[in-house]
Structure 1
Amino acid sequence: MAPDSSAPDPALPPWEQMLRALLGDQADQAIAEMRARGIDPEALGAAGSLPTDPAAMQQVLAQVQQLFASGDDQPVNWQMAHDLARQQAAQGGDPSLTPAQSRQVLDALSVAELWLDAATELPPSAAPARAWSRAEWVEATLPTWRTLTEPVASSLSSALVDALGGRIGDDPALGLPPGGLPGGLEPGQLLRRLGSAVFGLQVGQAAGTLSRDVFGTTDIGLPLLDVPAPALVAANLDAFAEGLDAPAEEVRLFLALREAAATRLFTHVPWLRSHLLAAVEAYARGIEIDVDQLEEAVGSIDPTDAQELQRALSGGVFSPQTTPEQQAALARLETALALVEGWVDEVSATAALPHLPHAVALREMIRRRRAAGGPAEQTFANLVGLELRPRRLRDAAALWARIASEGGVAARDAVWDHPDLMPTAEDLDDPAGYAARRAQAAGESADLDRALAEILGEDPPTAP
């Protein structure tokens, strides 16, 4: 039977609103049978993460009811994710930027570009700078969240069907008579749509939460825009500056330097974005859902209750680093993230030191913020089982500083010319030996070129 079309009473707790939205007039029977079996339905929502704001909850319920009327079985319910992210971003207020706020951000990014010209050979991005509200950040970044999360969502959806598909429709504990599934769906369809809703809730909450914490588009180490452009969330810059000893304008300029430097890197190193996203995808593709752990996590719950399902899955059902391929992908990703963060850290600090009195303190504060991890890292870990934390940021910054001191800024930035030139984990372990290892590799390459020339009867190449 399809869910009742009437809206649940907003005075009810969120778990009961969700249950009634899913089961309609069968909800009373399901709740009674749960209590008869010694299950307290109120405990189901104790650890849940559904929004408590009435407007946000009504939005979620509306999407859940539409879920069963839709023929769409995509891995993530993106309409739900979008609407919930906007609701989360608006919590506490998210007014449109005033002309003065926009001008402050754009001026800071403009000054940052001028200072960076003296610190890097990479030119500014051609894309216009932007000053955003939190809602605008959500709208701009959701396409990349789709790329990052759908591979895992697909795997989890298939595992859910395998683990729970046989229980739906014939388990009297669920209060569902035969043929009484919401919307007349088959068990597999129901679970796929519930999995889609669960991931939609998680992605929406993730993006909405991050929108209140991030400074720009590169805070998690990955570029969240298809076309890189410097952008800052004005309200978050102001909130971060509150309580600091440094003036707000100085904090804004320092964060603008980091955003502009990262944007230059992703703009003028065209292979870098795809390299990072491919490493994430390779890792996610190798994630194996532990079916036994999944069955243990969800075996005692009502599989038609999206909130209860979300709570069970949030405990972690991934088995990370289970294959050599995954370990290799993770090692590549961690090294690449460290190199990106280290370059941005070194270049922005070099640009800031002559101009900002608190540059050293601000640099250390951002380093500790990234090393400790925050909502960004935890959110991504929950979504795809992977922490995007540059554990070796300081080592990478030291390596870039060493390359610049020995060969100049141009030599440091030229390392990004090709992925084969990228420093390795060994280089992070021993920055002092980087130049010698590169010279040795260049010599071996030259020897190979000469040998090939002799075989082909060509003139040997001249030494660089």
Structure 2
Amino acid sequence: MGYVDWEFAKSTGRTLVPAGPVVSPAQARAEVEAIRAAARAARQPVAETARMHTPADAPDALVVDRATWITVNADSMSALLDPAVDAIVGKRGVTPGATAQAIGGKVTGAEAGALLAFMASKVLGQYDIAPGGTPALLLVAPNLVATARELGVDAADFRAWVCMHEETHRVQFTANPWLRDHLVTQARRLAVDLAPDSERIQEIVSRVTERLPEVFSEGGTGITELFATPEQREQLARVTAVMSLLEGHADVVMDDVGPAHIPTVADIRSRFTDRRRGSGAPDRLLRRLLGLEAKMRQYRDGAAFVRGVQEQVGVDGFNAVWTSPETLPLPQEIADPAAWVRRVHA
């Protein structure tokens, strides 16, 4: 029995996730085929725009429902976090008994399942880097249908636009194989370092209680940063900078590809951006608590960084960012693209 019961997380997530939009079996089959075709069609335009290529033998995208997305991501979370949890327990030198592990595994499994259920109704697509497994490009069919309807945009153009973004993520990792291992290593290290020692628990509770209003405020501090040490905040900032790069680059590529292949791309971008801003108060609060508001800033800040670098050194000059861990942007460089250019292209 692990410290997180991932099978219970899967069953909890599948039980809690809302049903998708109502479609007939024929409509569902047609949608799946249309998404697959859009994903295949995205490969060449993305490669030409990003000037990087996914290997020719890369498998087709997987078109999944919400329950399958939960299963895949639970497996990836397990592969990513279980070694970190083992390291945390080993560092503390105290191993919980079998009963405590079983109960704790159910509790943490339920929490993970609830998080996965919330995310499964939001995510449009994902390049799953699958630590310890086989990476895959996932596209969540019911969410593509529901979001296109909600936005009132052309469904075919919206499919193509989302596929451009997710294909960019795939090319980031497949054209630069070192990046996957680097990101997994950094995420595991951060998970271990952020786990508090027992003597710090009371201090953390007091600090979070005192500064909790910051979490609820617009643009507020993420809850993790409330208890992280300065060294941990620096490490978290470095990982966040990489995530900003990945998300911002995907947004830039999807929009640059758009005009030649997606007639209504400007309308889609405008409505999609308004949707990000316009969620209701409970949804915004939950997003803040889960760190998803910070993810929205990653899209914006990362795209500004990519644009800023490309304006100075072009796409090929920007692509030096993928050379090694040392050429990834530092946290302060995300807001100052010229500083990255000076450091890398000096």
TM-score normalised according to structure 2 size:
0.76
Distance 1:151 1:410 in 2: 37
State the Cα distance separating 1:347 from its structure 2 match: 1.0
Secondary structure in 2 matching 1:128: coil
CA RMSD, Structure 1 to Structure 2 (Å): 4.1
Q: Which region of structure 1 is more displaced relative to structure 2, 243-252 or 91-100?
A: 91-100
1:69-218 equivalent positions in 2, closer than 5 A: 72=1, 74-89=2-17, 91=19, 98-125=28-55, 126-150=58-82, 188-218=97-127
CA deviation digits over 1:269-308, x for unaligned, max 9?
2122222222222222122447589689xxxxxxxxxxxx
- 1:294, 1:123 → 2: CA distance? 47
Task: Say which of 396, 416, 426 aligns to 2:332.
Answer: 426
C-alpha contact (below 8 Å) 1:279/1:332 kept by paired residues: no
- SS at 2:295's partner residue? coil
**Identity of matched residues, %:** 26
State the partner residue of 2:260.
Answer: 354
- Other structure's SS at 1:127 match: coil
- Counterpart residue number, 1:242: 149
Amino acid at match of 2:7: Q
Measure, in 1, the Cα distance between the counterparts of 2:200 and 2:292: 18
Change (3 A) 1:372 1:392: farther
- CA change 1:392–1:82 in 2 (3 A) is closer
Query: TM-score, normalised on structure 1?
Result: 0.59
1:376-403 C-alpha deviation (Å, 9 max, x unpaired): 9958966xx9986263433332232233
| Residues 370 and 438 of structure 1, relative CA distance in 2, 3 Å threshold | farther
Question: 2:314 pairs with 374, 395, 408, which one?
Answer: 408
CA deviations 1:80-128 (Å, max 9, x no partner) are 1222223334746899884312211111112222322331211135122
CA displacement, residues 417-441 of structure 1 (integer Å, 9 cap, x when unaligned):
212122223322322454334343x
CA contact (8 A) 1:94 1:135 kept: no
C-alpha spacing 1:130/1:363, structure 2 compared with 1 (3 Å):
same
Determine the structure 2 residue equivalent to 1:458: none
- Greater relative CO (CA pairs within 8 A, separation 6+): 2
Q: Which SS does the other structure have where 2:134 is aligned?
A: coil
Q: Deviations over 1:166-212 (max 9, x none)?
A: xxxxxxxxxxxxxxxxxxxxx94433221111011111222233222
Q: Between Structure 1 and Structure 2, how many residues are aligned?
A: 323
Amino acid at match of 1:202: E
Q: CA deviation at 1:76?
A: 1.0
For 1:78, the aligned partner's letter is W
Q: 1:202 to 1:149 in 2, by over 3 A?
A: farther
User: Residues 81 and 201 of structure 1 are in contact (CA less than 8 Å); yes or no, is this contact kept in structure 2?
Assistant: yes
Do 1:77 and 1:196's aligned partners in 2 also have CA atoms closer than 8 Å?
yes
Counterpart secondary structure, 1:353: helix
The DSSP-based 3-state class of the residue aligned with 1:123 is coil
Paired residues of 1:105 and 1:234 also in contact (CA < 8 A): yes
| Mapped pair 1:326 → 2:232 | yes
Larger mean CA deviation between 254-263 and 272-281 belongs to 272-281
Aligned residue for 1:119, secondary structure, equals helix
Deviation at 1:367, TM superposition (A): 5.3
Identify which of 160, 165, 171 aligns with 1:264.
Answer: 171
SS at structure 2 position matched to 1:75 = coil
Q: Is the 8 A contact 1:290 1:318 kept in 2?
A: no
Greater shift, 409-418 or 197-206, is seen at 409-418
1:274 maps to which residue? 181
Structure 2 gaps of 5+ residues are 204-221
Do the aligned partners of residues 210 and 433 (structure 1) sit closer, same or farther apart at CA in structure 2, a change above 3 Å counting? Answer: closer
Q: Could you say if the C-alpha distance between residues 350 and 200 of structure 1 is closer, same or farther in structure 2, counting changes exceeding 3 Å?
A: same
Do the aligned partners of residues 429 and 295 (structure 1) sit closer, same or farther apart at CA in structure 2, a change above 3 Å counting?
Answer: closer
CA contact (8 A) 2:240 2:331 kept: no
How much does 1:132 deviate?
A: 1.3
1:144, CA displacement in angstroms?
1.3
In the alignment, which residue of structure 2 is the partner of 1:37?
none
Question: CA deviation digits over 1:136-173, x for unaligned, max 9?
Answer: 22232222111344467669989xxx9xxxxxxxxxxx
Letter in 1 for 2:265: A
Q: Match of 1:249, as an amino acid?
A: A
1:396 to 298, 302, 327: 302
Structure 1 CA distance, aligned partners of 2:228 and 2:332?
23
Would the aligned equivalents of 1:121 and 1:409 in 2 still touch at CA under 8 Å?
yes
